[in-house]
Structure 1
Amino acid sequence: MTQARTDDAVATGFDPASATIAIVTYNRSNLLSRLLESITRMDPKPGHVVVIDNASSDDTTAVAESFRERLGSELVYRRLETNTGGSGGFSEGMRVAYDLGSTWMWLMDDDVEVLPDGLARMGDWAPRFKSIQGRRYDYDGSEFYWQYRLSIPLGIPIPFAPAGFDASGYREMNSGCFEGMFIHRDVVAQIGLPDPRFFIYWDDSVYGWLASRKTTSVIVDEFVLQRTREIRQWDFGLRHLNASSNAYRYYIMRNRGHMKHYFRTHGAYRPVRFAIGTVLTFAKELIRLFFVERTVRGTSNLWRGLRDGRALARESEWRPMPPLDGAHSA
């Protein structure tokens, strides 16, 4: 870290060494290598870099260890015995970061690179907010739009929430994205770790919503990440749809059962409107299947997820993730 950056960090009341980048990876060692390489170029650098390997069968371990000399004691590598999905990986990554004493936890997938001054840009906002989302460039360098607001009664993102920023440089959000979530340990203590039961999908949306109930959550007009994986898209003007997978199709429907439980626990569940949101989600996935992937194969995964989600929503023993700080309620 240069002395100028160190002085800037002190001036804003943000210590870069108090931040941990937590990465989840699975069988994409080439992408992980690009991300870790970008971290070596950061100024300032975080205090720790935690890599959670979801039981990869490729050379992920060797790739992570190859950066140990350049990252030194900053690097913490954990290989899980089974693939716990993005949800389980981020839950474990946040747990490790929290146990390291990190004040800030910056979550990201392996298919991004961090811009050199990314942490400095996030740190500029740290004195004001405790749940922050930065912006990303897409694979081609264009601005990536993320749906940062949820309609809680419907349980779906609001697709046409304003994308621009005013002079304040931020917009309040009530959602979250684990590709870049920057969150303070005080909030994590109150709402607990991300719920690994989601496996993939809706986990970060629900977690971001829980965070927004405890603090003012914002997306800031700061580009801090760039995506490094090209995804097939259907561009229809104002927004676009990305290609998906059978696993995503299943979990996007099944996990509405978990979402229903969380909304019900916090008094936000509206049965009729949530059911409409489920229908809209199903319809959106059909459009994605037909127009982005140009196939009809995969609809069975939607129906199976819908069935299992309804069963999950009826589980009487379901409980939310507990807070890490016993002084707070979930």
Structure 2
Amino acid sequence: MPTADHNPAIESSTDFDPASSTIAVVTFNRSALLTRLLKSVEKMDPKPGHIVIVDNASSDDTTEVVEGFRERLGTQLVYRRLGTNTGGSGGFSEGMRVAYELGSEWIWLMDDDVEVIPDGLAKMGKWAPRFKSIQGRRYDYDGSEFYWQYRIAERMGIPIPFAPAGFDESGFKPMNSGCFEGMFINREVVQQIGLPDPRFFIYWDDQTYGWLASRKTPSVIVDEFVLRRTREIKQWDMGVRHMNASSNAYRYYIMRNRGHIKQYYRSLGVYNPVLFALGTALTFAKELIRLVFVERTFRGTSNLFRGLRDGRKIANDTSWRPMPPLAAVPAAG
């Protein structure tokens, strides 16, 4: 793991070319939020070379919104409208594929419910000479600091909920996870680990992808605020941390996708049946707590059990294979 011998945040960013980067956004039926994000990209300085919009078969005016920004952004816009809703996982997999095939040196992933701080790309670029898998910080909807669980208990496959939130003078902390709401990753790492796995549909996909990246390169979260969330989510304030509201679809995939994580762990030789089962049990318990204290209902538990059942089928699928590495494609320039 890298040592804090100096602070790259005060180094020159001459080794980073903003035009070599691509912002990849996934959107679905939230054109108002997408509009706000694209307006923030319009104000960026510097701007990326490309912005890729992956539309998960929206039924609103997303296409018209995107076309309205094509001449305004000052950067090349690529629009991919998918024939069906592939979930966030499928959307980010496609966005990563397009950005990689464009020859992007750096790929910055984000949902449609954030906006970019005007100098966000410059802030991330400061760290590019040193690291290849980077996560910036975010402001929450109300302007507070958004806490993200950047460390996972590897053998259990779950986030460590109370990993230290503060930074020391180095300006970064090692992470072994990932979040597609702001992941900034180099094409060399993408080539080695392949695309995000669309089979997840939603949930655990970014954690798994970040974990895979951390096995190839030192991965860090840096003390740079680069995004702001633009969608308010119902939360339970626990004092130290918040717990967000969920949905029946999320509850299902949270449990189902444990099967995919188990398969990844097996393929890489890190699977421990006892500890992984404990992680699954703790995940189930957390979702029950979320139902009762955030959403104030007991309805929805059937989705957790359905997810467990289908996750076992995935875990027992002998034909399952991890996402393959990518073929070498020349970087831009």
TM class by shorter chain equals over 0.9
Q: How many residues align?
A: 320
The answer to whether the Cα contact below 8 Å between 2:48 and 2:75 also exists between their aligned partners in 1 is no
Give 1:261 deviation, angstroms: 0.3
Distance 2:265 2:246 in 1: 26
Distance 2:280 2:288 in 1: 13
Distance 2:13 2:135 in 1: 22
SS at match of 2:52: strand
- For residues 264-315 of structure 1, the C-alpha deviation after alignment (integer angstroms, 9 at most, x for no partner) is 1111110001001000000000000110000111111000001100111000
The answer to whether the Cα contact below 8 Å between 1:14 and 1:124 also exists between their aligned partners in 2 is yes
Give 1:12 deviation, angstroms: 2.9
1:239 is aligned to 241
Distance 2:163 2:115 in 1: 26
1:88 corresponds to which of 78, 90, 95: 90
The answer to whether the Cα contact below 8 Å between 1:29 and 1:60 also exists between their aligned partners in 2 is yes
1:76 corresponds to which of 58, 75, 78: 78
The answer to whether the Cα contact below 8 Å between 1:153 and 1:273 also exists between their aligned partners in 2 is yes
Aligned-partner residue type, residue 61 of structure 1: T
The answer to whether the Cα contact below 8 Å between 1:9 and 1:120 also exists between their aligned partners in 2 is no
Q: Residues 297-308 of structure 1: matches in 2 within 5 Å?
A: 297-308=299-310
Runs of 4+ in 1 over 6 A off after TM superposition: none
Are 2:154 and 1:124 equivalent residues in the alignment? no
Distance 1:86 1:20 in 2: 18
SS at match of 2:94: helix
1:250 is aligned to 252
Distance 1:11 1:102 in 2: 17
Aligned-partner residue type, residue 48 of structure 1: H
SS at match of 1:102: coil
Distance 2:185 2:288 in 1: 34
Q: Residues 42-61 of structure 1: matches in 2 within 5 Å?
A: 42-61=44-63
Give 1:74 deviation, angstroms: 1.1
Aligned-partner residue type, residue 263 of structure 1: Y
2:193 is aligned to 191
Q: When you count helix as a share of all residues, which structure comes out higher?
A: 1
- For residues 10-68 of structure 1, the C-alpha deviation after alignment (integer angstroms, 9 at most, x for no partner) is 85310000000000000000000000000000000000000000000000000011001
Give 1:71 deviation, angstroms: 2.2
The answer to whether the Cα contact below 8 Å between 2:134 and 2:221 also exists between their aligned partners in 1 is yes
Are 2:251 and 1:267 equivalent residues in the alignment? no
Aligned-partner residue type, residue 60 of structure 2: D
Q: If the length of structure 2 is used for normalisation, what is the TM-score? A: 0.94
The answer to whether the Cα contact below 8 Å between 1:9 and 1:123 also exists between their aligned partners in 2 is no
The answer to whether the Cα contact below 8 Å between 1:9 and 1:15 also exists between their aligned partners in 2 is no
Distance 1:269 1:11 in 2: 40
Give 1:73 deviation, angstroms: 5.5
1:163 is aligned to 165
Distance 1:286 1:277 in 2: 14
- For residues 104-136 of structure 1, the C-alpha deviation after alignment (integer angstroms, 9 at most, x for no partner) is 000000000000000000000000000000000
Q: If the length of structure 1 is used for normalisation, what is the TM-score? A: 0.95
Distance 1:182 1:81 in 2: 27
Q: Residues 80-229 of structure 1: matches in 2 within 5 Å?
A: 80-229=82-231
2:18 corresponds to which of 16, 19, 37: 16
SS at match of 1:69: coil
SS at match of 1:133: strand
Distance 2:65 2:12 in 1: 34
* RMSD of aligned alpha carbons: 1.4
The answer to whether the Cα contact below 8 Å between 2:26 and 2:53 also exists between their aligned partners in 1 is yes
SS at match of 1:125: coil
Aligned-partner residue type, residue 89 of structure 2: S
Distance 1:52 1:9 in 2: 34
2:284 is aligned to 282
The answer to whether the Cα contact below 8 Å between 1:177 and 1:208 also exists between their aligned partners in 2 is yes
SS at match of 1:277: helix
Gaps of 5+ in 1: 1-7
The answer to whether the Cα contact below 8 Å between 1:22 and 1:52 also exists between their aligned partners in 2 is yes
2:325 is aligned to 323
Distance 2:210 2:218 in 1: 11
